[in-house]
Amino acid sequence: MTESLPFAVLISGRGSNMLALAGAVRSGEIRGHIVAVISDRADAAGLAAAAGRGLATRVLAPEAGEDRGAYGRRLEQALVAAGAGLVALAGFMRILDGGFARAWEGRLLNIHPSLLPAYRGLHTHRRALEAGERWHGCTVHFVTEELDAGPAVIQGRLAVRPGDDEQSLSARVQRLEHIIYPRAVGWFAAGRLAWRDGAAWLDGRRLREPVIEELP
């Protein structure tokens, strides 16, 4: 495969993962190009950062009374219009409906700040610290209808240090996020990562467990 993969990045906040993906496009790690950075919030800091790098940005805020399905259909239209062949959720804080997940099955990735299946949902660093975990990290996974439950592709793992608090732990996890997300999207763009029979495949091998990247 020699073509450049057109992909969209969905954000709600700072957009540091979006910037890591943009950096990997520039460095050639991802053989692709970002066709749209879409935020559900007009005040997302990542929008200005994306525009500053010359990326096309769009705000798609939910309308009053709009349900999840209707929002998902508008988002779907925007992504199709942008010509996206892959959608990377990067801190997008809106739960997408089943119709959207089905429409993008196998072409929808997310990064989650925990070692899934542990700690789905929010406040993952706090919960991992409270539970006294020795290991923590982040996961890139294909998105399916069930929240944070689709097949994992790659995990960044790190040891929790004595004295870690939510902030220090989240900062180290983010460093790992910025390594593993570009790697996964790069694999997808190169045709190495694929979705088949409800599972993730890497280099023609079904991934029964995610690839592990460790931060020293």
User: Site residues (CB under 6 A) for ligand GRF?
Assistant: 11, 13-17, 46, 90-91, 111-113, 138, 174, 177
CB 189 within 8 A of CB 28: no
Task: Pick the closer one to ligand GRF by CB: 106 or 113.
Answer: 113
Least distance (Å) between residue 59 CB and ligand GRF: 15
CA distances from 93 to 1, 44, 183, 185, 194 (A): 33, 11, 22, 20, 25
Cite the active site residues: 112
A 10 A CB-CB count for 180 gives 25
Supply the minimum distance, in Å, between the C-beta of residue 139 and ligand GRF. 9
Per-position DSSP letters for 111-156, written without gaps between them: EESSSTTSS-SS-HHHHHHHTT-SEEEEEEEE--SSTT-SPEEEEE
C-beta of 73 vs 129, nearer to ligand GRF: 129
Closest to ligand GRF by CB, 31 vs 112, is 112
Cα dihedral sign, 66-72-75-81: negative
Minimum CB separation from ligand GRF for residue 191, in Å? 25
What's CA 203's distance to the chain center, in Å?
A: 21
For ligand GRF, the closer of residues 73 and 127 by Cβ is 127
